[in-house]
Chains A and B, each alone.
Chain A
């Protein structure tokens, strides 16, 4: 077992983990933060996207020990003081989801991308979702939601 201390959504957690524990399993099974979904399990679908030190990563492709002493943000850490994050609000208003399974990953990927490029074109938003699959929506309202959040409408 290896000890890790990871700050998740602003709270520090110290646990003993097997080195082979993937970050997504640490988040879901040790911390019970089940908003981060496991989809494909092969680092393709992006459902497990979280932020590590502010950048989007696929938490099924990273060991918990690699996140030791890092700051992790999950979908549960996006709202503050009962107020939805602007992306969460935009997905809600634009109906940016159907079944909702991919949504946490979509929002975390989009939040990281908008930090890099706060004023993207529609084409840039579509390219930025290269690592996230949605099997319901055809992406149209997901893209609309992200553009809406970037423009600060509503």
Chain B
């Protein structure tokens, strides 16, 4: 399986990437390529130009900025998983990064690519949604825009990024309280049939769900129940409210609805222990 032909441009800066995007509306950015290239090999994706941003300097650092931790969009999953700063200050992100794909995938795939791909079955989008992460994008003329996580994931493989915007940074809060990241699958490298992230943020417990709809979802009913004093068992019973899980070859929609309640209960018990 070979991708359809395309033009290849390697850029050295975000500005060059934006200019190249503006020049060809069928172009796609290439970071690690571990979501895009498999799709291109199946010819599900057929970009006319690949704009390789993988070597732009300064976009892969992980650093502190006041109360936030800033993760460069080109940080590899392996480096996110092994970041001492994240392990100490926002451990759910480091832990989840270590569950993505397999070691070879984690050596190449990037957090920015994973997020911009907008796959509701991806591990990292739901974690960032639970954390109320902020996504920083740069567009035409160097205009910088901050997008909150609730607005970022707009649909199946769709995000709020404009066609000529480049995701440059992801900002997460320090989250050193209890947390849990649970992913249920049948085989080691499979996508999550269902995943649940639970983490203490800003005085409350945030819960988000992987692969329970067209985007990663906040389990709003669970969060409201907890805020109202419900125990984890009672709160978790509401985990499928407002969801629309897929019905596919791997699991039925009903199975996912049952599974999400079980996983949410376990995640809450772990995060709130």
Contact = CB atoms under 8 A, between A and B. Distances in A.
A56 B5 CA distance: 27
A131 B103 contact: yes
Contacts of A63: 8, 30, 33, 37, 50
B103 A66 contact: no
A24 to B, nearest CB: 11
A131 B52 CA distance: 25
17 contacts: A19-B8, A20-B3, A20-B4, A43-B34, A43-B38, A46-B104, A52-B108, A58-B104, A58-B105, A61-B105, A62-B33, A63-B50, A66-B33, A68-B10, A130-B103, A130-B189, A131-B105
Given A20-B3, A43-B38, A62-B33, A57 B108 contact: yes
Interface in A41-84: 41-44, 46, 49, 52, 55-58, 61-63, 65-66, 68
Nearest to B101: A131
Given A20-B4, A55-B107, A130-B188, 16 more contacts: A19-B5, A19-B50, A42-B38, A42-B41, A49-B104, A52-B108, A56-B104, A57-B107, A61-B33, A62-B37, A63-B8, A63-B37, A65-B52, A112-B103, A113-B103, A130-B103
Contact of B104 (A19, A20, A42, A131): A131
Interface residues of A, number: 30
Contacts of B8: 2, 19, 63, 65
A15 interface: no
Given A58-B104, A109-B103, A128-B103, A19 B33 contact: no
Contacts of A19: 5-8, 50
B170 to A, nearest CB: 22
Contacts of A109: 103-104
Interface residues of B, number: 29
B6 A20 contact: yes
B249 interface: no
A22 interface: yes
B104 A57 contact: yes
Contacts of A119: none
A149 B250 CA distance: 38
Nearest to B42: A42
Contacts, number: 82
Nearest to A19: B8
A131 B102 CA distance: 5
Given A41-B1, A57-B107, A46 B6 contact: no
A62 B5 CA distance: 15
Contacts of B33: 61-63, 66
A46 B4 CA distance: 23
B2 interface: yes
A16 interface: no
B2 to A, nearest CB: 6
A18 interface: yes
Which 7 residue pairs of A and B lie closest in terms of their CB atoms, listed nearest first?
A131-B102, A19-B8, A55-B107, A130-B102, A20-B3, A130-B188, A131-B104
A138 to B, nearest CB: 15
Interface in A16-45: 18-20, 22, 25, 41-44
Interface in B1-37: 1-8, 10, 30, 33-34, 37
